[in-house]
A and B are shown apart, each in its own frame.
Chain A
Amino acid sequence: MPARYGMVIDLDRCTGCGNCTVACAVENNIPPGPPGVTDRTGITWMRVYEADNGEGFPETQSAFVPVMCMQCEEHTPCVSVCPQNAVEVDPETGIVGQIPERCLGCRYCMAACPYHARYFNWWDPKWPEGMEKTLNPDVSPRMRGVAEKCNFCHGRLHTAREKAAAAGNAAIDPADYVPACVESCPTQAIVFGDLNDPASEVAKLSRDERAFRFLSRLGTEPKVSYLSSRAWVRSLADRVLARDQKEEARG
């Protein structure tokens, strides 16, 4: 059976430190923002939002929500809209991949993405002198004028496959393929693995009673789930739930 990679993020563990964002940028050769860049024009494949329960002090509670490409499985919005097949779902892994060399830069995929998880290269990628030494040789930098997004550190998957092939194995060792954000999280809030493997931790956690997915009623079947034992955090999943939660809190 082909793999179906997914992720589970425990929001009760996330402290919003941003380590995952930095590790992601370094791993995937995301260039430093040029002068004039804002949080709306910069590239952050993984972005940490802050949410609160809307209550005043001392009932205020916060949660940090790391959001990246949710690797939608059904009616994948970015795949179906791309006019030149620059976005594809890999049937062997379920990973939604971007082909920057084929991208026209029309940004239709960005408009279609419900998670605002796609980014555009508004500038030429530039690394200050000396910083180019930090470039990851396994990942190609993208040029100006194309869209990009999280691909579950596809470069690491290639490396794991090469290692498996060199050892004469057909399948990779799951321990060899861990995305940078998972590896860097100090609270181990992010779990990654094959959702098709019922014994995997990610598969078990995705079925946990605390598990939920954002905007799941859109029907795009995201492969990234979240965990929280707090009802108001789970109600952030969509606006109908959020409204019901608010009404319930008001009595």
Chain B
Amino acid sequence: MLHLMKSEFIKLRTLRSTLTATIVLVLFPIAVTVLSAMFAKTPGETMVIEVLTNTGTVSMLLCGVLGVFAIAQEYSQGTIRITFAATPMRMKVFAAKTIVISLWVATSVAVLEGVGLIGANYALDSRGFDFGVIYNPSIFNGSSRSGDSAWQVLFAFGAVCILFALVGFALGALLRSSPGAIATLILVPLLVEGIVTALLIAAFDIDISRKTPFTAAIRAVQVEPDAARWGLVGYFAIWCCAIAVLAALLMKRRDA
């Protein structure tokens, strides 16, 4: 398994597309967070974390794109045949890819959050503001109404990013096409869930707005979520796992 994971890691690190997506997903929230800390009129711990996770929505989607790249490019470029010929046990390939992309995303998000907070701290420090989160992330110094610690927001954000990578990977394995999987990954949370919710309300007076998985993921990383944070993460995780199980079964059964 370690050999396979090393192989999958080499695949990820030797492509410009994955490196570019990783750099953007890390740098974009950092840049916006630090700029906000530099220029915001009323900066504070809550604002910094909010900016980091809200701009991190782009990072979540890019984590999904990385997941798509990890498998769909293998199908489009034909390397999946070499991969399966070298390792006929396809579930081992699926597991190795899942672990490596999760670790890759987890590391990227850790860098994003760490550098983002340190950068915001320096920016606030230079303006004479005290940024408590950097020294004690378990408290928001009373500025959070939900009572959740900064750690919880940051961990939830990391978990959701990993789940986005997992669902991207699963969609890539199902659709075997990077454009198709990326389009699905972006359109479902940004457009489809909203349209379906609106249609159901209009036609049947049924409100599923609190049950749509991607919306749940985005709600889970709010500083002040409207439901139990880890319940929302768990709900999104169930959806992701269901899609991943379907993708794994089909990967095993379909011709390569």
Report whether chain A binds chain B. no
Task: Name A residues whose Cβ lies closer than 8 Å to a Cβ of B.
Answer: none
* B interface with A by C-beta (< 8 Å): none
